[in-house]
Structure 1
Amino acid sequence: MIKEDADWKFTTISDLCARAAQVYGTRTAIEDGITLTFVELDAARRRIAKAMIAAGVNKGDRIMIWAPNSWRWFATALGLVSAGAVLIPASTRFKGGEIAELVKRSGTSMLFSAGDFLGTYYPDQLKAETTAALRQVVVIGEARGTEKDWDSFVAAGDVISDTELAEREATIAPDDLCDMLFTSGTTGYPKGVMYGHQQCLKGVDAWATKVGIREHDRILVIPPLFHVFGYRAGALVALMRGAVFMPHLTFHAGEILERVSSEKVSVIPGPPAIFHGMLQHPELDKFDTGSLRLGITGSTVVPPILVRRMRDELGFEGVVTGYGLTESGGYGTMCLADDSDEVIANTAGKAAPGVEVGIMCKGKLLPQGQPGEIVIRGYIVMKGYFNDPEATAETIDAEGWLHTGDVGHIDTDGNLHIEDRLKDMYIAGGFNCYPAEIERILSTHPAIGIVAVIGVPDTRLGEVGKAFVILRTGTSATEKDIIAWSRDNMANYKCPRSVDIRTSLPTSAQGKVLKNLLRDEALQHA
């Protein structure tokens, strides 16, 4: 394991790649239709970095990748940061107008785009002014028209010598930016979260240690690489720990279960929706899930019942949960791999060494047990929002605390309990209602597989709860049944006043239920 070598320190991502090749050598690094060893991955990374230099990429240039999960996505990211550029990952769900805005806001100079994906040739979506603003559009796949294909782009770098590459790499400092991940933009415009090489690597290392990633693990990376759960907690952690990175294209429960069965996957990181989907599959019992060792979830509130079902029905030896956000590199707190089931099911664990997590209200830290806004301080906190000092100052206070906008409390053992988003809370008849708490309770109903709760207007109480439910396979329940059960199992003000039973819910590419769409729909109906 790289971190055990006391003579080697985390510095830059390019140094990590070279060190991984030295330590892990000809062991398998990636399986994605082809197999790459750690030595071969490093060679590909170096060749791509040379191609960046040959294309005129300078240190600090912003370069966007707008493509689905693949080994080429990861190798391109490693290559561009090795040339001193800054990675801008873009969601494959974005359309041409959204990419135009992102290119403009980030100052992107080069775009690596998907070719044909999900029935669309991605460069065709680009606006003329966007293409004109870019030095080059490179297609990861088969190119058409004026775009250059990825293989040709990489080959053009063969004119750059090893000495030139070494000189460029020597200019990259541990504190330099490695990427800017843009927030989802649920309010206002997306904001670019600036993150540095060393803080990224330190965060990945601390996270991998806490959850228990091992050499030779086979990590199926389902979350998109444009998200921290895919890029850092999937691809980079595999590179750091000598595990196998297995990218997955799109979320489909049957395909995931088939890969687990046939390719002996041992680790799956991802939001709860991934595991809910696997559990909901009508033929779950037909798949061999005996290879599963570790399930890593978080990204949103995790119902305790899900943790138990992941163990009992999917067969995970261990399940860990945690808490983090893009502005803290995707990290914050994490359970230990050997924590008790009670801790794992009911908390998000403790902060890593060098990181502080507190609960604050009106600028003052609160004692243990009292709920308030979760705040984070330490090396994992972003360097700020790109070109937005006002938003940065609103999010990181003068004492260095990152204000998350999430509600929680810390128990007497120091474990963080997540209660909800401040913005998701609604008030029913004067009582504060936290949807995440209500969802946790509803998740224990024997027929409920997935649930999302929102507040909707009510003429008498101001707001009341509305639950959107997907039933477990092979079960049945009516709206009346669920409301009656709720009245027997939670305070009256928490009970949803209406239940919408569905076969699917709108989700983001990261697997989170898009409550803003549910709210919009409910308001239209109202």
Structure 2
Amino acid sequence: MADTLPEVPDRLDQLLSRAAAAHPARPAVVTDDFTMDYATFDARVTAVAAGLQALAPEPSVVAVGTVLHPDVAVAYYAAVRAGHTVAVVNPLLREDDLLHVLGLGGARVVLLDPALNARLEKVRDRLPALRDVVLIGAGTDGLDLLATDAPLTAHGKGPQDTAALQFTSGTTGRPKAVRLSHRNVTVNAAQIAQAHRLDGHTVSLNHLPTYHPMHLNSAIAAGATQVLCASPEPYAALMTANRHRATILYSLPVRLARLAADPDLDSVSMTSVKRIASGGSGLPVPAARRLSKRFGVPVFQGYGLAETSPLTHSDDPDRPVHGSVGTPVAGTECRVVHLDSRAVLAPGGVGEVQLRGPQVMQGYAGGPDGTGLEPGGWLNTGDVGRIDEDGRLFLVDRLKDVFKCDNFLVAPSDVERVLRQDERVADVVVVELADAEHGAVAGALVVLASGHTDALADVVARANDALPYYQHVADAMTLDAIPRSGNGKIQRWVLAAQLTSRLPVAG
């Protein structure tokens, strides 16, 4: 990848105003029944930003949460243009986690869809900082009501000011709020556009469950057109791509793997897509090869974290090496260090991946700049990998216990916490189970309290009712005791194998 950093404006919302000035009539965001060109997009963002300034005159945190919908793009940029910090909230969160992230971020205004608002209403009285809720998304007119012709008040935010909060699960399982500056986000948008070879002729098909800022910002940085496909079905994405003449298709590894395994794959075609990009977790090599052979286009993937805005690596979009996440994007450094000594390893050595670059976060909310970073600005990723002689990164394993279901991060401790709220549960361990459809799902090994030996099914059902679908316990078994080492450690991979095979577990 190129070493030269692309030129970027001082503020995130200026990515949009720059694109609108250069090609006002070009479609920016498209669905099957909606098209918004860049000039309309930019004007609508300004009108909604003025409305947000009226709601919250002082710089505040504005949270945005809804499923894949054009309103997200407007709300995201309007919050920033108003001088606020935008916090992107997963719209599938249930009450407890919603309370946590909104409280952690200190959200003053929330723009969200009706389904998420129904859950928010149950905990809103425990969010004293929250003053205003605006409904956005399908079937709502919240942005229309919020928009105003009033002039915007200048706010003076610059490259080093915080533009966004991105929530992520850490090693403890509770989400942290990552503080990203305007420069973090604008540089990464341009890095992605450069690495993925996006330009004004690009039509990208977004086939994700939610609207991730990575895809929104990089398309705008390139002046590209983005088509949204909300259906989870892989064939729907292919048909949408054909209808809109998409040139690149962005999807999840689990969806692409399911498509590759479909016996009817040979009956469908893509007429305009030149590349398929997979992100969020690892795409199995056989699936990448199958899709590449069937459609005659490269299938490539990348790597990144919420703490890195998010992308740090991308494989070559035209000549990918399957199994690798590629080389660092422009201006980004990557090294692998020994797990114990922390010495930097030579190519081929396996250790923890560390990253440094202009897209690496300011820090975590609640701490000064640099919180969560090593001296010198290096970020410990918690991932184990190796770098080959050509600088390509290959991920080997994870240090953390978290896993991904449908690209949503699942922390076993989050699921365990809900299960432990049931008085019938004496002890529990949640593990990752491989799943062909979702990538991975949660499994539970449960020690039931005395007198409740037949309660497992009801315990799991009650917990699943309190969790978003991607945290649901898909399989469970009871134990007399959870086996632990002398220092209290649990080998989750051993327990996962025993749950899958239903072997007896030694206490």
TM bucket (normalised to shorter chain) is 0.7 to 0.9
Equivalent of residue 343 in structure 2, options 341, 364, 381: 364
Q: Is residue 138–residue 149 contact of structure 1 (8 Å, CA) maintained in 2?
A: yes
Q: Counting helix residues as a fraction of each chain, which structure ranks higher?
A: 1
Aligned CA distance change for structure 1 residues 308 and 141 (closer, same or farther; 3 Å):
closer
Q: Is residue 71–residue 137 contact of structure 2 (8 Å, CA) maintained in 1?
A: no
Q: Is residue 180–residue 361 contact of structure 2 (8 Å, CA) maintained in 1?
A: yes
Please state whether the residue corresponding to 1:239 is helix, strand or coil.
helix
RMSD between superposed Cα atoms in Å? 3.5
Provide the aligned length of Structure 1 versus Structure 2: 425
Q: How does 1:38-437 map to 2 (within 5 A)?
A: 38-59=38-59, 61-115=60-114, 117=115, 122=118, 125-130=121-126, 133-141=129-137, 149-154=142-147, 157-158=148-149, 160-161=150-151, 164-165=152-153, 167-168=154-155, 171-185=156-170, 187-225=172-210, 230-232=212-214, 234-281=215-262, 283-313=264-294, 315=295, 317-339=297-319, 341=320, 344-361=321-338, 362-388=341-367, 393=371, 395-423=372-400
Counterpart of 1:177, as a letter, is T
Please state whether the residue corresponding to 2:178 is helix, strand or coil.
strand
Please state whether the residue corresponding to 1:423 is helix, strand or coil.
coil
Tell me the CA shift for residue 512 of structure 1.
9.1
Q: Is residue 28–residue 36 contact of structure 2 (8 Å, CA) maintained in 1?
A: yes
Distance 1:185 1:242 in 2: 34
Please state whether the residue corresponding to 1:182 is helix, strand or coil.
strand
Q: Is residue 171–residue 401 contact of structure 2 (8 Å, CA) maintained in 1?
A: no
Counterpart of 2:388, as a letter, is D
Q: Deviations over 1:154-190 (max 9, x none)?
A: 2xx32x22xx44x23xx11011111111103563321
Q: Is residue 99–residue 126 contact of structure 1 (8 Å, CA) maintained in 2?
A: no
Aligned to 2:481: none
Distance 2:331 2:207 in 1: 29
Counterpart of 2:349, as a letter, is Q
Please state whether the residue corresponding to 2:352 is helix, strand or coil.
strand
294-303 or 13-22, larger mean C-alpha shift? 294-303
Please state whether the residue corresponding to 2:175 is helix, strand or coil.
coil
Q: Is residue 227–residue 244 contact of structure 2 (8 Å, CA) maintained in 1?
A: no
Q: Is residue 260–residue 288 contact of structure 1 (8 Å, CA) maintained in 2?
A: no
Q: Is residue 272–residue 511 contact of structure 1 (8 Å, CA) maintained in 2?
A: no
Distance 1:211 1:231 in 2: 15
Structure 1 gaps of 5+ residues are: 426-434, 437-453, 455-464, 472-505
Please state whether the residue corresponding to 2:334 is helix, strand or coil.
strand
Counterpart of 2:158, as a letter, is A
Structure 2 gaps of 5+ residues are: 405-411, 413-430, 438-463, 477-491
Distance 2:51 2:367 in 1: 32
Counterpart of 1:34, as a letter, is F
Q: What's the TM-score once normalised by structure 1's chain length?
A: 0.73
Please state whether the residue corresponding to 1:213 is helix, strand or coil.
coil
Q: Deviations over 1:219-246 (max 9, x none)?
A: 12122446xxx321x2111111121112
Please state whether the residue corresponding to 1:69 is helix, strand or coil.
coil
Aligned CA distance change for structure 1 residues 291 and 511 (closer, same or farther; 3 Å):
farther
Please state whether the residue corresponding to 1:191 is helix, strand or coil.
strand
Aligned CA distance change for structure 1 residues 15 and 468 (closer, same or farther; 3 Å):
closer
Aligned CA distance change for structure 1 residues 513 and 250 (closer, same or farther; 3 Å):
farther
Q: Is residue 313–residue 326 contact of structure 2 (8 Å, CA) maintained in 1?
A: yes
Distance 1:122 1:216 in 2: 40
Aligned CA distance change for structure 1 residues 517 and 63 (closer, same or farther; 3 Å):
farther
Counterpart of 1:46, as a letter, is T
Distance 1:65 1:319 in 2: 31
Q: Is residue 372–residue 409 contact of structure 1 (8 Å, CA) maintained in 2?
A: yes
Q: Is residue 48–residue 143 contact of structure 2 (8 Å, CA) maintained in 1?
A: no
Bigger RCO of structures 1 and 2 (CA < 8 A, at least 6 apart): 2
Tell me the CA shift for residue 511 of structure 1.
12
Distance 1:372 1:516 in 2: 32
Q: Is residue 224–residue 510 contact of structure 1 (8 Å, CA) maintained in 2?
A: no
Aligned CA distance change for structure 1 residues 335 and 153 (closer, same or farther; 3 Å):
same
Counterpart of 1:217, as a letter, is T
Q: Is residue 347–residue 417 contact of structure 1 (8 Å, CA) maintained in 2?
A: yes
Aligned to 1:499: none
Distance 2:469 2:300 in 1: 18
Please state whether the residue corresponding to 1:175 is helix, strand or coil.
coil
127-136 or 360-369, larger mean C-alpha shift? 127-136
Q: Deviations over 1:284-324 (max 9, x none)?
A: 344331221111123222332222112122x1522222211
Distance 1:381 1:318 in 2: 28
Q: What's the TM-score once normalised by structure 2's chain length?
A: 0.75
Please state whether the residue corresponding to 1:398 is helix, strand or coil.
coil
Distance 1:523 1:388 in 2: 41
Counterpart of 2:221, as a letter, is M
Q: Is residue 313–residue 329 contact of structure 2 (8 Å, CA) maintained in 1?
A: yes
Distance 1:207 1:239 in 2: 11
Please state whether the residue corresponding to 1:320 is helix, strand or coil.
strand
Q: How does 1:435-474 map to 2 (within 5 A)?
A: 468=434, 470=436
